[in-house]
Copies of this chain bind each other. A is one copy, B any other.
């Protein structure tokens, strides 16, 4: 009772009941941690986190419906005195990690982390320091070494349609562009990605997380 160390109060945000139960089982036996609430949607997590009695939010990135975890993280961390947000998700792909961290997440763990790592990460997050799963850290390092071949909005739009199998002409119709313009955008994409065909561009962009699926 004379401890200066306060209890770390947690909010679990995940749409899977099983995962929430698992996190609860793993974390509530830890000394110094207490789970004060659960949320099954990102929206619920946002409103609950605003009540001010939470120190760390464990946030999934994928929710079945509505807002995603990164968006929720951005909203939560925007207000003063906000809790720390620790991302706990299944996959650590390039495309997921960066937006989450930009949104203000304090750490990023994969769900296959052993329980002790999880608890340690929660304590680290509560103290305001960062934790990154090793595989995620690797990915980030690679990202920094080989700086993102940023595509412009238009280039991404064009490439996304190409990835669905549309021809240049079809892409042009869809975006109200001439076939020539589509070719022009694609030529820039090829140069940026270091490839020389649409299919190779789709493969490269998918690997880099620049487009989905």
Partner-B contacts on A (CB < 8 A): 15-26, 64, 90, 111-115, 118, 162-167, 195, 197-204, 206, 213
Contacts and interface: CB of A to CB of B under 8 A. Distances in A.
Contacts of A166: 200
5 closest residue pairs by CB, A with B: A165-B200, A22-B22, A18-B22, A21-B25, A21-B22
A113 to B, nearest CB: 8
Contacts of A18: 19, 22-23, 26, 111-113, 115, 118
Nearest to A206: B213
Contacts of A203: 163-165
Nearest to A29: B21
A22 to B, nearest CB: 3
A200 B166 CA distance: 7
Judged by DSSP, the binding face of A is helix
Given A64-B112, A112-B15, A112-B16, A165 B21 contact: no
Contacts of A90: 90
A17 B197 contact: no
Contacts of A22: 16-25
A199 B165 contact: yes
Nearest to A22: B22
Contact of A162 (B64, B113, B114, B199): B199
A194 to B, nearest CB: 11
23 contacts: A16-B22, A16-B111, A16-B112, A17-B112, A17-B113, A17-B115, A18-B118, A19-B19, A19-B111, A21-B21, A21-B22, A21-B26, A21-B115, A22-B22, A22-B24, A22-B25, A25-B25, A64-B112, A164-B203, A165-B203, A165-B204, A199-B199, A199-B202
